[in-house]
Structure 1
């Protein structure tokens, strides 16, 4: 047997309080041809370097800049050897590179000239020197402007603001009273006194196909907050984000086999990211009658239609004995199969078995749920992201998140307090399988 590869997360929790640094472990292989493309966005590439690396590169560039113009000053001084430009003590003396470097450094830093010769620092008889000084000052102004823009962009970047948006350590897969399963996690902005602007959340499922190298990256629709309304949340208070595990969900127990779109009455999603919550609330139809083509939102509506139409067709001679299929011709076994399939989701005796299957699905396909909260920082008006991921080891089954928002009248400036000691806690029947 081949050795079992260790499971590695795409998003590592490398910060305290079970949080991530909002970085994904993705590398680009065979990127030899990407150099020219990246050169078109050199500023952001340079901005992504570490502080030590970027400062080192800037110091090297600044030093090279001074050295280059020092060479220009040496060349300019030799154009008219009989003219005293004041860069040396003696007009007959040749300007050395060390003196040219010092003059170039003085010009760049604009600290004022202390010339060894008798020149008044206007260099009237040395136009070549004036031209070199002009271009050095021009490049110096541009370089200083770049330094200001670079350090402002680096210090004021909003991506570090996402560190204060914390996620719960555990995610909960639980069964609702109507038999449906949901995937839930909790999120909270620690800097709650300055509420974020337009905060919304997205959820993705990353799965590795069995026997294949490719990884699937699928969207998970949200029921709370409703992603049809933008999945907007208010993270200044601890919020629970929920995804309903329906037949369209990437973590549905039958999603790996593809049976969710192969059922006789089920309308094909055509590759769209759908959810059953829309059909349950009458927003669209999920099922089509294979006899008449009438569409219905739920299986219950479809079975009622077939049963009622079959009752009307008992005394109807239309289609009898012909090739046309009637509602009466729909197999009772098919109807029972639909009823049994849906009834299994509403019986509580198999809950533990389903939890075991969810655990097996996450482990077998190495499922990693990627949660992304995106918002605007009100101070700098910049957009940032906070990222967290959940794997099989981060799942709890059943139960609820412990209450962590409590009344607080001890401080006159606050009315409520968030107990961060309870933020990660799961209470109730939840226990990792």
Structure 2
């Protein structure tokens, strides 16, 4: 009886996991629904099989401790019920990532279909951006939001972020084939260059920076690509120059705006946001102020000297490390960094390709010298945990002989 139930659960989740990348493009509520269903189904099958081996994974232990701390720390916030609830709700991402890493993406057929769907989503977003920059409207009807920013199919300027955070997942099969000498190394290199140029067109500076760093990590860390390091860098610079000449407004965006932001950074918008976050951190350094409590606490009168509320008080601290520090305290930051370290250690068990490509995939979420989206929101969290789960699935499980299959 239970085997039949588990079989139906697995088949249903296999479909959901396969279409997750495409559902994400359609709307975050759909993607979040898949995350919740996959997490609940995984708990149910673990209970029916009495198989909890995945809990012995070090990264799972750290992730659960991180969620527990965020939930506990929320009790000391200005709105304990809301902050603790938002901290506890992060567990859905942990459980869904465990399901993908320990079960679904370990199945080669499911992983292949997932990667094909992800590649289709990346191509769709990239094509939508090219249409939008050419015609002023995307294929999905989104107008050009700013002269130097693109939205693609999304309602806000997130297309470059999406491409930067999924590119090293979608191109993993090409990197693997090149590493096995079954595909010329020029193919994944050309795809990386093309993706980088589209990200440039979106006008998203952090996305371009971290994607470029990821490309550099792959060029240095993967022997099959290493000999192309200098030509790739030269070609990349030339490509960036050509696009900049064709769209001179991008020079204003990437050069003029960046120089202006860095000049007197502490008193500029992002500087004021970080200073507000640091001030709130010093008030509650151990527990933090609570998940998503930053916009509620930021307008406090005692922080008025930092700058106008409408400039510095946004939805989150706009920096991954600062967000952990402000909303979860030093303990949350330490656990989060420990989680990243545990992931990289597990990636290394899967071999050089998994480690290098996995590191490149993590940079857009954790690079400290950039602004970022909130890691607690569905849009960013789905991409973050999805990326980690894929590379974890390519590494051997601790103390397990194979995927968690019944019988």
Bin the TM-score by the shorter chain: under 0.3
Q: Give the TM-score of the pair, scaled to structure 2.
A: 0.21
Richer in helix (by share): 2
Is the strand fraction higher in 1 or 2?
1
The TM-score with structure 1 as length reference comes to: 0.20
Q: Considering Cα pairs closer than 8 Å and 6+ residues apart, tell me whether 1 or 2 has the greater RCO.
A: 2
